[in-house]
Amino acid sequence: MNKPERTSVSRSPISRRTFLQGAAATAAGAAWLGPAIVHADGSDKLRVGVIGAGGRGYGNLKVIAEHPDIVINGFCDVDQSAIDKTKKATGMESREFRDFRKMFETHAETLDAFIISTPDHMHAPIAMLAMQHDKHVYCEKPLTRTVAEARALGNAALGKFELALQMGTQRSARPGKRAAVNALRSGKIGAIKSVHAWTDRPGGWWENGKNYGGGEDPVPKELMWDEWLGVAEKRAYQKGLYHPGAWRGCRDFGTGAIGDMGCDIIDTAFYGLGLTAPESVTADVAEGGTDQKYPDKTMLTYVFPKNARTVGDMTLTWHEAGDLPDRGAAGIPADFKLEPNAVVFVGENGTLYCHMDGVNKLFVDGKPQDLAANTAAPEEYPHIHEWVDACLGFGECYAAFPFASRLTETVLLGSTVASHFPGKTLEWDTKAMKVTNHEPANALLSRTPREGWAVEGL
């Protein structure tokens, strides 16, 4: 399926799959093996299943629908009203499923790829099951709800080289963000001494302070509540507390403010500086937080080991709920307007500011400078189209699971682990996947799925 001219950016015509096919053909003394996918009916379109059709699922659907080489071949949602709304808004028709396990059990052969846009706690079981069925996956950020799940998906991906496995971080395709990555990689501001990232979440986006687990409301007839809970322990339905969207503040389902926005903001540090895992993380909890709910405001301090682009013991601090870094420490002029979601890199020769949608500013000695041409980025090509192309044998996924799992592990070490132990610096041994100085923290790296919801490998 040789269609690079369909993309608006120049891509390597040699992809993972065409390379493998070409190599196999050469070895066998045969000719080019043909397109990556040809179905029994002669169609060579990617047949996509959409799991989680409401909320972000709808957003993903709108963008992927513009790719000429896909066909939507199934909606799966535990809430019938979400499917109905999405169908109405997009005008799309497809088969409907309520339970993703049945979708795999009975219809796997009619689907090549899945978009997962469910709440965070169900990402890993669905993605792992899809990979075990040899399906391509586009899974929304953060990749998983637990550190152990992220590790498991990252490792599993290394054994599934033929699959296109992308975490949904569409902002990473913004030209400005790619330019910031180029600037960091080219050493434009020297070795990085510190990174400061922040978000306005939860703010008015959702409310962490809710009384989770404190009542019971009738389950709406369109909603399959037990299936919504999935791997999580059984609990009563409470209107407006979990579904839709409000689950983010509840530890059983969501991943807090950094879980929601970290993959979109500190990914620039991972791409640009080649970070892999911190040595330690400390949570300073300003307000709230229980075993049930995330704190209303946490500041996280990660320390990273030295690498070629950083000084030793580089810190990355995460601020949330509108908290901002100290401008002086970050080398930002007092009159510069900070966007509500951004990251700043403090280097030996200047400061690079990068808004999450990729509007960059460079400051040297507190004065704005031009970002030179060598940090320019290509025109934007939609992240989810990049994934479709990779499924069809063209190019690679920018946020592929092995990368996404490392980024997600770091994010989750802060929210799902450290925020339980305010003020305690947790020493992290990434190779052993273990907190070495505080045993209770290790119990929070994983969770046992509810009976009937276990997926092998997780």
Ligand X SMILES: NC(=O)c1ccc[n+]([C@@H]2O[C@H](COP(=O)([O-])OP(=O)(O)OC[C@H]3O[C@@H](n4cnc5c(N)ncnc54)[C@H](O)[C@@H]3O)[C@@H](O)[C@H]2O)c1
Query: Applying CB under 6 A, which residues contact ligand X?
Result: 51-57, 76-79, 82, 100, 117-120, 122, 140-141, 168, 170, 227-228, 230, 243-245, 260
Q: Which is nearer to ligand X, 304 or 401 (CB)?
A: 401
Least distance (Å) between residue 19 CB and ligand X: 30
Tokens of 102: 């049945």
Q: Which is nearer to ligand X, 170 or 301 (CB)?
A: 170
Q: Which is nearer to ligand X, 55 or 347 (CB)?
A: 55
Helices and strands in the chain, H and E counts: 14, 16
Least distance (Å) between residue 203 CB and ligand X: 15
Number of CB atoms found within 10 A of residue 168's CB: 27
Q: Which residue is nearest to ligand X (CB)?
A: 55
Beta-bridged to residue 300, according to DSSP, are: 283, 318
* 102: Cβ contacts below 8 Å, ≥ 6 apart: none
Q: Which is nearer to ligand X, 124 or 330 (CB)?
A: 124
CA distance 152 to 132: 12
* 109: Cβ contacts below 8 Å, ≥ 6 apart: none
Strand pairing category for 96-97 and 113-116: unpaired
Least distance (Å) between residue 102 CB and ligand X: 11
The residue written with tokens 């049930």 in the block is 292
Cα torsion 196, 304, 398, 253 to 10°: value is -80
Tokens of 289: 């937080």
CB 78 within 8 A of CB 227: yes
Least distance (Å) between residue 99 CB and ligand X: 7
Q: Which is nearer to ligand X, 244 or 457 (CB)?
A: 244
Tokens of 163: 């699959």
Least distance (Å) between residue 86 CB and ligand X: 8
- Indicate the burial class of 305 (C-beta count within 10 angstroms; 0-12, 13-18, 19 or more): middle
Q: Which is nearer to ligand X, 53 or 314 (CB)?
A: 53
CB 126 within 8 A of CB 458: no
Least distance (Å) between residue 331 CB and ligand X: 29
Q: Which is nearer to ligand X, 166 or 351 (CB)?
A: 166
Beta-bridged to residue 46, according to DSSP, are: 70
Q: Which is nearer to ligand X, 1 or 411 (CB)?
A: 411
Least distance (Å) between residue 113 CB and ligand X: 16
Least distance (Å) between residue 246 CB and ligand X: 8
CB 131 within 8 A of CB 163: yes
